[in-house]
Amino acid sequence: MTDTTHDQTSDQAPSDDAPRRGPNYIPTFGDSPEGTDIWQRVPYDPDDYGAVSDFATDFDHADPNYNPNAPEIWKQLRESGCPVAHSDRYGGMWAPITHDTVHEIAYDTDNFTSRSVIVSVGRPGDLAMPAPIGAAPPITSDPPFHAMARRLLLPAFAPKQIEPWEPEIRELCNSLLDEMGDITPGETVIDAAVQYAQNIPVNVIGRMLGFPQEDEELFRKFVHDVIERITEEPGTRDGMEDLGNYIHAQIQDHRDNPRDDLTNYLLNVEIEGNPVNDDVVGGMIILLLIAGIDTTWSAIGSSLWHLAQHPEDHQRLLDDPDVMTFALEEFLRAYAPVTMARLVAKDHDFHGCPMKADDWVLLPFPAANRDPKKFEDPDTFIVDREENRHAAFGLGIHRCLGSNLARLELKVAIEEFVRRFQRVELAGDVRWSVGQIRGPRELPVRILEVAG
Ligand code: HEM
């Protein structure tokens, strides 16, 4: 491996692409014509493909039917003897479905690179931030740089940093519930995704990073740009530079007006005694802003979707609040929201699948969590399931760094909702997200009983 690590972390931009990197250059998730900074167009035109008819040979996680029906699709694939599905879409993509195959790929950082973790019609181009760093460290990094970048972030997400946020998260949840106004039991319908779930993680990470609270809507747009606009033509996507520009402005503002927050902390970190340049710091901040928002929002929404259909579990949480220790892990297992991706690093055979360099590989951790070889009765939600080593937070070196925060937000959000609304039911159609993060985006719920 060439030693790009040192160059990239010093204040000096690397010489081969220096002309492209000015003070305003944030390489992550911008838009540019094919063949330039960021994108290399894959040979795939979504218009040539219709709806998926066979997920074994034409897998598409962005098909509108996929997220609403994902557990049934995984089950069918497994039962028809297809542990790894394939697709020509996105220039070639593989989708392992079993726990064993997902586990094996997640741990194999030689044959699979994290250079890009969101499947789209563009792969990182020749001038994008190279491996082993990638555009948003550490999630886009490979060894050995990955461990250096991860080490910088770990202290900020340790339990003793996260636990003090609990009272503020409770207050936030209660103010969102208050804002729903007067509730007439049996009549009032609220949208538990729009009025509740989507507002919680965005508020917390925005405050941690020291970004203005009024920008929360913008943060959700950034998430949408990165995660959902995956089939739009690179070079023509309006507003794709907004995220990079916003982060650049925040970095400047935090330099001019230093304060005690995560952004200023990251502006001062060092790797092996060297300051970290703005490309890398900007990428890390972007990762933190994006990684915690629709993931946790989806987990909260799916959990409330479950409770709206299972009053017995709702009642159990009210009667026996300690069951939350187990319920939390079961919500995460059964409704894991996050599928990440890898690029194949070199041609090789994976259990009979002829994988080619630069093919995409999805890592559907949610499918691994429903594998009957790993979990007894995996499609049943067992509120007090004891043995539950789920993969919702990933497997291997990239395991979620924000899991303490995610668990706290999910636990508090469910507890406060259940305490306030003691009986609820589904009140209409659910709209699911599209793509790698799975969760309800519209979730109409009728309130049947309110705490007195
Ligand atoms: C329920 C909510 C969440 C779920 C299910 C989740 C899931 C995941 C998964 C599966 C990975 C592994 C990615 C891979 O293998 O490529 C990951 C990585 C990561 N997550 Fe989370 N996440 C959640 C919330 C958060 C939050 C709140 C934060 C912090 C703001 C966060 C920050 C990160 C970071 C920084 C990484 C990259 C770690 C690395 O590459 O070493 N996540 N997450």
CA pair distance 159, 162, nearest whole angstrom: 5
Going by CA atoms, what residue is nearest to atom 2 of ligand 1? Answer: 296
Atom 22 of ligand 1, residue of closest alpha carbon? 400
Model confidence, pTM: 0.92
Q: Is residue 420 lining ligand 1, measured as CB closer than 6 Å?
A: no
DSSP annotation string for 147-213: HHHHHHHGGGGSHHHHGGGHHHHHHHHHHHHHTT----TTT-EEEIIIIIGGGHHHHHHHHHHT--G
Any ligand 1 atom below 6 A from CB of 361: no
CB–CB of 386/326 below 8 Å?
yes
- In degrees and rounded to multiples of 5, residue 138 shows phi and psi of -90, 0
CA 19 to ligand 1 center in whole angstroms: 33
Residue 391 Cα: closest atom of ligand 1: 10
Strands 93-96 and 360-364: parallel
Cβ 288 under 6 angstroms from ligand 1? yes
Q: Is 96 in the pocket of ligand 1 (CB under 6 A)?
A: no
CA of 395 to the centre of ligand 1 (A): 11
Distance CA 206, CA 203 (A): 5
101 to 56, 87, 350: CA distances (angstroms): 15, 17, 9
DSSP string, 358-409: T-EEEEEHHHHTT-TTTSSSTTS--TT-------TT-SSTT--TTHHHHHHH
Say if residue 138 is preceded by a cis peptide, omega within 30 of 0: yes
Q: Is the CB of 105 under 6 A from ligand 1?
A: no
Atom 38 (ligand 1) nearest CA = 398
pLDDT at 26: 43
Is any ligand 1 atom within 6 A of the Cβ of residue 394? yes
**CA 144 to CA 141: how far, in whole Å?**
8
Looking at residue 184, its amino acid is T
Q: What's domain 5-450's architecture?
A: Orthogonal Bundle (1.10)
Tell me if 433 CB under 6 Å of ligand 1.
no
Q: Does residue 364 line the site of ligand 1, with CB under 6 A?
A: no
From residue 21, how far is each of 7, 106, 179, 279 by CA, in Å? 14, 32, 46, 9
The atom number, within ligand 1, closest to the CA of 399 reads: 12
Q: Indicate which atom in ligand 1 lies nearest the CA of residue 405.
A: 27
Which positions ≥6 away from 107 have C-beta within 8 Å? Answer: 395, 396
| Cα 351 from Cα 112, distance rounded (Å) | 15
SS3 content of the chain, % helix, strand, coil (to 5): 45, 15, 40
**Ligand 1 centroid vs 425 CA: distance in angstroms?**
31
**CA-closest residue to ligand 1 atom 18:** 400
Cβ neighbours for 8, distance < 8 A, ≥ 6 positions apart: 14, 129, 130, 133, 145, 277, 279, 280
Pairing of strands 84-87, 93-96: antiparallel
CA of 139 to the centre of ligand 1 (A): 8
Kind plus residue range of the DSSP H or E element containing 274:
strand 274-275
According to the model, what pLDDT value does residue 129 have?
75
Mutational pocket test of ligand 1: of 107, 203, 400, 437, the residue with most ligand atoms within 8 Å of the beta carbon: 400
Question: In angstroms, what is the span from residue 435 Cα to ligand 1's centroid?
Answer: 16
Segment (H or E) for 271: strand 270-271
Ligand 1 pocket, residue 391 CB under 6 Å: no
Cβ of 291 closer than 6 Å to ligand 1, yes or no, is yes
From residue 403, alpha-carbon distances to 157, 159, 292 in Å are 8, 10, 9
What are the sequence ranges of the domains in the chain?
5-450
Distance CA 216, CA 264 (A): 20
User: Residue 402: CB within 6 Å of ligand 1?
Assistant: yes
Within the chain, what is the greatest distance between any pair of CA atoms? Answer: 67
Pocket probe mutation, ligand 1, options 153, 198, 295, max atoms within 8 Å of Cβ? 295
Spatial separation of the C-alpha atoms in residues 322 and 314, rounded to whole Å:
13
- pLDDT tens series, the chain, 452 aa: 233 333 333 333 333 333 334 444 444 445 555 555 556 777 778 888 889 999 999 999 999 999 999 999 999 999 999 999 999 999 999 999 999 999 999 999 999 999 999 998 888 876 677 778 888 999 999 999 999 999 999 999 999 999 999 999 999 999 999 999 999 999 999 999 999 999 999 999 999 999 999 999 999 999 888 888 888 877 777 777 888 899 999 999 999 999 999 999 999 999 889 888 888 899 999 999 999 999 999 999 999 999 999 999 999 999 999 999 999 999 999 999 999 999 999 999 999 999 999 999 999 999 999 999 999 999 999 999 999 999 999 999 999 999 999 999 999 999 999 999 999 999 999 999 999 999 999 999 999 999 97
Ligand 1 and 112: CB distance under 6 A: no
| DSSP assignment string, 240-269 | TTHHHHHHHHHHHHHHHS--SSHHHHHHT-
* CB of 365 sitting under 6 A from ligand 1: yes
Q: How many residues does the chain have?
A: 452
280 burial level (CB within 10 Å; 0-12, 13-18, 19+): buried
Neighbouring C-beta atoms of residue 36, cutoff 10 Å:
16
Point out the ligand 1 atom lying closest to the alpha carbon of residue 137: 40
